[in-house]
Amino acid sequence: MNPWPIVRAFLVRHRWAALAFVFLVAAGVSLAVALISQERALRTGSARAADRFDLIVAAPGSQTDVLLTAVFLRPGTTKLLQPEVTVRLLNDKRAAFVAPIGFGDSHRGAPIVGTTSQLVTHLSNELQEGRVFARREEAVVGAASPMKVGETFQPTHGIPRDGNPEEDADPHEHGAMITVVGRMKPTGSPWDSAIMVPVELVWQLHSLPDGHEEGSEAVGPPFDQAWTPGVPAAVVRPTTIAAAYQLRNAYTTNESMAFFPAEALTRLYSVMGDLRQLMSLLAIVTQALVLMAIMMGVLLLFRFLVPQLITLRALGAPRLFIAAIAWGFTATLVLAGVLLGLGAGYGLSYGVSQWLAADTGVELTPTLASSEYLIAASILATGWILALLPAYVVQRRSLAISLAES
Amino acid sequence: MNPHDAEVGLSVFQLGVSFCDATGDRFNALSGITAQFKPGQVTAIVGPSGSGKTTLLHCIAGILVPSSGETRHGGVIVSSLGESARDTWRRHNCGMVFQDFRLIDELTVLENVTTPALFGHYRVPSILRDRARTLIRDFGLPERSIPTSRLSRGERQRVALARALLMDPAIILADEPTASLDRTTAASVAGTLEALATQGKAVVCVTHDDLLVSRAHEVIALKAGRMGPPAVDQFPGLRAGDLA
């Protein structure tokens, strides 16, 4: 038996209702798929962005806040490490390098990060263009920065918060003229749109001791104990894994906290995962309700098809053929909805990723993986099983009574 | 004569059908109907509305199981078959035509005509497809792949006839086949049914149309579920001696 030509004809006849059903299923599937895909994209994107930050040391407080400030360059109010702790850390022999991070300035919305050339080289592997800064009035820009090597600019005091100039803290230009001397390779992190300068320049612009004895124009380590201010955070590259744990223990004190970014991210992922599970559950429950509503809708729709169905029965079609038509009709709607939902879900996830990437600088690459296919397959299977309901009801109709009624 | 003495052809014997009405009381829609529908003949079932014409047609088709009596085709007691067997019997032995054609408008002429082949096959066998094409050509229908919704009413009824003939059934059952057609088209359809009888098929028509009645070899007149003489003045074309 082959009910598909009849199914196709009925789909054409009720194309608008069928389209509405397909869009309903697609909407539910796409939300569920986008949610899971986006959560994974966020997880992998943020993990990739934080991958090269081995250990972070900051003043005691929220690890998440420090992570967002130091790795994701989100404006925040983190306390400063005490100068003594900073100096001790900067000169710690267990680290291959310790890069202080200083903030406070920006240029055309891009944050200016004061650090050392070692961190710039470490984050970028090798530069895409030019060289690292060797003087205080030199800068290296991220891969996505619109600035060109050789371009000069004056830093503006203050960092725009989410693009709201009202929240800029005392915006005014510093007098220094900085020249871009290099461009980093893409890192997939907010550092791609940032401007990196020697940390000494940031200290100097903010009238702080600049890490070296008075009058010195030196850049980078070693830093002078007597002339080093506190910093919001420092990125530590330990020499060995053992050293990493030693450093974390050594700087987890009342005066400082040290953590692996992965630790803080894992806690964030845990919250995100719980949220995802809750949202997924809600999406599935909603989808089940949508499917039930569609089954009822299909039953109503098939009332309009009774003359055709009883004609088929009168021509000798067995009940199974009628059931197959009703099942095939509903199953096709669900299948089309699920396939469309998978595509739309990916599209939605891609759109959200683009928006988030533009907003945060974290490169997000949405993908469809087994969990999305699994949820789509679950909805499809549920829909196909529920499609047996209208199939059963439609085939039960008495031929003689239906013919008499029609 | 007990029609069952003739082991060929289609017959009903002492057929009775009763239903419950809305108040739960039983009433007889048909009672004591005995008739034979011979191959090569057109039989018209006539009578006023509610007289049981369509109920009789449904019993003949095996759609309805009678409360008493039996329907027999050749050596098969159709009325005692299970539903699935009756479906199969109907598919192979009956071609049904309805007043309102009951085509699937979104399908082409060829697809509509080959619909009965889908009940038992995934692909329409080439022999049936060829037969469908022959029927379409014989009935003067367009062979192009156009939906039947674009055809005239006369053409659509011819498509329904072609569909009824696909499986080359021995019996053609038509429920008011000319009721929704103009006189010229109705005459054409009546001629087609007569021609089918000439080919040896038993043609049974429920009708109010005197044109069709005038071409019938036999007429069964029903009144309140029982057989009786037709009101001759209602069918001026009725031939004497036509009554079953």
pLDDT tens figures, B103-114: 998 999 999 999
Select from A259, A288, A313 the last residue of a domain: A259
Strands B76-77 and B68-73: antiparallel
Q: Mean pLDDT, to the nearest integer, of A245-259? A: 92
Confidence grade of residue B231 (pLDDT, cut at 50, 70, 90): low
* Closest residue by Cα to residue A284 from A43, A35, A38: A35
Q: Is the pLDDT assigned to residue A165 strictly greater than 70?
A: no
Q: How far apart are CA A98 and CA B95, in angstroms?
A: 92
Same structural domain, A327 and A222 = no
Task: For residue B122, list chain A residues with Cβ-Cβ distance below 8 A.
Answer: 1-2
Residues A147 and A107 in one domain: yes
Q: Enumerate chain B positions whose Cβ falls within 8 A of a Cβ in A.
A: 54, 58, 61, 63-64, 83-84, 87-88, 90-92, 94, 96, 98, 100, 102, 104-107, 111, 115-116, 118-123, 163-164, 167
Are A149 and A245 in a shared domain? yes
Residue A401 has pLDDT above 70, yes or no: yes
Asked if the Cβ–Cβ distance from B106 to A1 is below 8 Å, we say no
pLDDT at position B188, please?
84
Tokens 């008493």 found at: B68
Chain B residues in contact with A317 (beta carbon < 8 A): 87, 91, 116, 119
Of all residues in chain A, the percent with pLDDT exceeding 70 is 95
Instruction: Name the average pLDDT for chain B.
Output: 85
Res B71: pLDDT: 93
Cβ of B63 within 8 Å of Cβ of A12? The answer is: no
Q: What is the DSSP letter of B6?
A: S
- Single out the residue of A353, A338, A384, A292 nearest to residue A31, CA to CA: A338
Least reliable range by pLDDT among A22-26, A163-167, B105-109: A163-167
Concatenated DSSP letters for A365-394? Answer: -----HHHHHHHHHHHHHHHHHTHHHHHHH
Does one domain contain both A140 and A8? no
Q: Contact at 8 Å (CB) between A111 and A194?
A: yes
Nearest CA in chain B to A399: B63
A43 shares its domain with A133: no
Whether residue A212 sits in one domain with residue A83: yes
Greater pLDDT, B10 or A282? B10
pLDDT, average across residues A123-139: 89
DSSP assignment of B68-94 equals EEEEEETTEEGGGS-HHHHHHHHHHHE
**In this structure, are A19 and A40 located in the same domain?**
yes
Dist. CA B68–CA B65, nearest whole Å: 9
**How far is residue A60's CA from residue A253's CA, in Å, rounded to a whole number?**
8
Beta-carbon contacts of residue A211 (< 8 Å; ≥ 6 apart): A199, A200, A203, A218, A223, A224, A227, A228, A229
Pair A194, A251 in one domain = yes
For chain B, counts of helices (H) and of strands (E): 8, 10
A292 versus A326: the higher-pLDDT residue is A326
Q: Which residues in chain B touch residue A307, judged by CB atoms under 8 angstroms apart?
A: 100, 102
Is A184 a residue whose pLDDT tops 70? yes
Indicate if A40 and A72 belong to the same structural domain: no
Per-residue pLDDT tens digits for B113-169: 999 999 989 999 999 999 999 999 888 888 777 888 888 888 888 899 899 999 999
Burial class (CB in 10 A: 0-12, 13-18, 19+), A253: exposed
Interatomic CA distance for residues B161 and B155, integer angstroms: 10
**Closest residue to B121, CB basis, from A2, A10, A313:** A2
> Which among B34, B8, B10, B4 has a CA at the least distance from the CA of B172?
B10
Is residue A316 a contact partner of residue B90, using CB atoms and an 8 Å limit?
Answer: yes
Amino acid at A140: V
Query: Quick one: A249 and A324 in the same domain?
Result: no
> Are the beta carbons of A132 and A117 closer than 8 angstroms?
yes
pLDDT at B142: 83
Tally of domains within chain A: 2
Cα A306 to Cα A297: distance, rounded to the nearest angstrom: 15
Alpha-carbon distance B100 to nearest alpha carbon in chain A (angstroms):
10
Pairing between β-strand B10-20 and β-strand B26-37 as defined by DSSP bridges: antiparallel
Q: Which of B88, B98, B123 sits opposite A311 (nearest CB)?
A: B98
Distances (CA, A) of A218 to A116, A222, A237: 12, 9, 22
CA count, 13 A, side-chain hemisphere, B60: 33
> Could you say which residues from 317 to 336 on chain A have a Cβ atom under 8 Å away from some Cβ of chain B?
317-319, 321
A307 touches chain B (CB under 8 A): yes
Confirm if B192 and B164 have CB atoms less than 8 A apart: no
DSSP string, A214-240: TT----SSSPPGGG----SEEEEEESS
A234: alpha, beta or left, given left = phi > 0 and alpha = psi -120 to 50?
A: beta
Among A5, A10, A399, whose Cβ lies nearest the Cβ of B118?
Answer: A5
Cβ atoms of A70 and A49 closer than 8 Å: no
Closest chain B residue to the Cα of A305, Cα to Cα: B104
pLDDT of residue A172: 61
Give A-chain residues touching B58 at CB under 8 angstroms: 400, 403
Nearest to A338 by CA among A24, A121, A127: A24
State the nearest Cα–Cα gap between B1 and chain A, in angstroms: 30
Rounded distance between C-alpha atoms, residue A334 and residue A287, angstroms: 11
Instruction: Say which residue the tokens 């094409």 belong to.
Output: B133
- State percent of chain A over pLDDT 90: 32
Chain A, nearest residue to B56 by Cα: A400
A5 touches chain B (CB under 8 A): yes
> For residue A391, what are the domain limits?
4-47+267-405
Q: Tell me: ipTM over 0.85.
A: no
Average pLDDT over residues A251-267: 90
User: Which candidate from A6, A8, A308 shows the least CB-CB separation from B102?
Assistant: A308
From B59's Cα to the closest Cα of chain A, the distance in A is: 9
Lowest mean per-residue pLDDT among A158-172, A252-266, A329-343 = A158-172
Taking CB atoms and an 8 Å cutoff, what residues of chain B touch A312? 115, 119
- Which pLDDT value is given to residue B4? 46
Residues 6+ apart with CB under 8 A from A136: A197, A198, A200, A201, A204, A217, A219
Cβ separation A307–B102 shorter than 8 A:
yes
| Residue where a domain stops, chosen among A259, A289, A313 | A259
Query: Between chains, do A399 and B63 touch, taking CB under 8 Å as contact?
Result: yes
User: Which of A13, A307, A318 lies at the smallest CB-CB distance from B119?
Assistant: A318
Query: Per-residue pLDDT for A251 more than 60?
Result: yes
Convert the pLDDT of each residue in A192-227 to its tens digit.
Answer: 989 999 999 888 888 888 888 887 888 888 888 788
ω into A186 cis (within 30 of 0): no
pLDDT at B201 over 60: yes
Q: Which of A8, A307, A316 faces B88 most closely, judged by CB atoms? A: A316
- At residue B240 the predicted structure's pLDDT band, cuts being 50, 70 and 90, is very low
Q: Chain A residue closest to B83 (CA)?
A: A318
β-strand pairing of B218-223 with B226-228:
antiparallel
Q: Burial code of A203-221, b = ≥16 C-beta within 10 A, e = fewer?
A: bbbbebbbbbeeeeebbbb
Q: Touching check for A9 and chain B: CB below 8 Å?
A: yes
Residue contact B111–A316, C-beta within 8 A: no
A-chain residues near B146 (CB < 8 A): none
Is residue A296 domain-shared with residue A224, that is, in the same domain?
A: no
Q: In the structure, what pLDDT confidence band is assigned to residue A161 with cuts at 50, 70 and 90?
A: low
Last residue of a domain, one of A259, A281, A297: A259
| Residue A221, both tokens | 């380590």
Q: What is the pLDDT of residue B2?
A: 45
Secondary structure percentages of chain A, helix, strand, coil, to 5: 55, 15, 30
Would an 8 Å CB–CB cutoff place A312 in contact with chain B? yes
Residue A228: pLDDT over 60: yes
Give the number of residues written for chain B: 244
Chain B interface includes A358 (CB < 8 A): no
Flag whether residue A314 sits within 8 Å of chain B, measured between CB atoms. Answer: yes
Q: For residue A162, give the H/E element and its range.
A: none
Q: Tell me which amino acid residue B65 is.
A: V
Same domain assignment for residues A282 and A363: yes
Query: pLDDT tens across A27-84, in order?
Result: 988 988 898 888 888 888 888 888 888 899 999 988 888 888 888 888 777 788 888 8
Query: Please, which residues have CB within 8 angstroms of residue A161's CB and are 6 or more apart in sequence?
Result: A75, A167, A168
Which of B19, B86, B99, B104 is the mutation pick for testing A, counting most A CBs within 10 A? B104
Domains and CATH numbers, chain B: 38-62+82-227 (3.40.50.300)
Q: Chain A residue closest to B85 (CA)?
A: A318
